[in-house]
């Protein structure tokens, strides 16, 4: 089965009708798609039955024998899958991610699968304000008082994550040098008080263990 006849000479801007059949069967018996080509020398357009691996290769123009490159089909969109990701034919080596063209597929490891690093740019880290630092210090003080009343430290994943996030934000540029000095001083005081309470609770725990051994 042959593809549609080539367009006449000088028909670069002529609108082509949509293809009625996107696949045809050559004499070999294997279904291959029809690809459209456009000649930059004479403006002629023609179609060929080609396997997908040859979709990006140029072909000689039947009008002037110049090399004609493939164009985007007018009647249908041809896609192929490589490495599990869709690619528009002719394949230009790029990948598609939620309608965007990216240089490499999402490999995971950071963020959500819907957030590609080339599409969703990470927001710049904002340094904590003085008010946020004071709120953080007050929250840590309440946690220390609760640990002292309980007589032991309860490790909480969310509390440790909040602490690491706050310390990470301290490395970001602050609104002013004064804010940077104040927030860092508050953070240093909070860390020192936390370490003091932890050491105190560890010492008390050791004393209780010794007393328990002596009474046995």
| Tens-place pLDDT, residues 111-127 | 666 777 777 776 778 88
Burial (CB count within 10 angstroms: exposed 0-12, middle 13-18, buried 19+), residue 35:
buried
On whether the CB atoms of residues 86 and 96 are closer than 8 A, the answer is: yes
Mean pLDDT, rounded, of the chain = 75
Across 198-211, average pLDDT? 86
Q: Are strands 32-38 and 59-60 parallel, antiparallel or unpaired?
A: unpaired
Are the CB atoms for 36 and 69 separated by under 8 Å?
no
Query: What are the tens digits of pLDDT across the range 28-78?
Result: 555 567 788 888 888 888 888 878 788 788 888 888 888 888 876 555 556
**Confidence bin at 3 (pLDDT 50/70/90):** very low
Burial 119-150 (b: 16+ CB within 10 A, else e): eeeeeeeebbebeebeebbeebeebbeebeee
**99 or 148, which is more confident:** 148
Q: Which residue has the higher pLDDT, 89 or 176?
A: 176
Question: What pLDDT score was predicted for residue 173?
Answer: 85
Q: For residue 88, what are its two tokens?
A: 């528009």
**In the prediction, which pLDDT does 134 show?**
92
Higher pLDDT, 157 or 172: 172
The residue-averaged pLDDT of 120-142 equals: 86
Q: What are the residue boundaries of the structural domains of the chain, listed by start? A: 1-91, 130-215
Buried b / exposed e along 158-170 (16+ C-beta atoms within 10 A): eeeeebeebeebb
């Amino acid at each position: 089965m042959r593809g549609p006849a080539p367009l006449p000479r000088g028909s670069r801007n002529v609108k082509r009708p949509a293809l009625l059949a996107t696949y045809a069967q050559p004499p070999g018996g294997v279904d291959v798609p029809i690809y459209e080509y456009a000649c930059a020398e004479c403006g002629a357009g023609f179609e060929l039955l080609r396997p997908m691996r040859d979709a990006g290769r140029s072909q000689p123009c039947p009008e002037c024998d110049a090399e004609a490159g493939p164009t985007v089909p007018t009647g249908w969109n041809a896609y192929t899958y490589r490495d599990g990701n869709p690619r528009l034919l002719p394949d230009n080596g790029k990948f598609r991610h939620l309608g965007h063209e990216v240089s490499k597929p999402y490999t995971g490891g950071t963020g959500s699968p819907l957030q590609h690093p080339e599409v969703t740019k990470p927001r710049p880290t904002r340094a904590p304000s003085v008010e946020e630092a004071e709120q953080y210090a007050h929250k840590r003080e309440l946690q220390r008082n609760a640990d002292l009343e309980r007589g032991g430290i309860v490790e909480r994943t969310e509390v440790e994550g909040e602490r690491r996030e706050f310390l990470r934000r301290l490395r970001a540029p602050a609104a002013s040098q004064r804010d940077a000095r104040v927030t860092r001083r508050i953070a240093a005081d909070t860390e020192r008080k936390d370490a003091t309470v932890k050491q105190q609770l560890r010492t008390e725990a050791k004393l209780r263990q010794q007393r328990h051994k002596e009474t046995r």
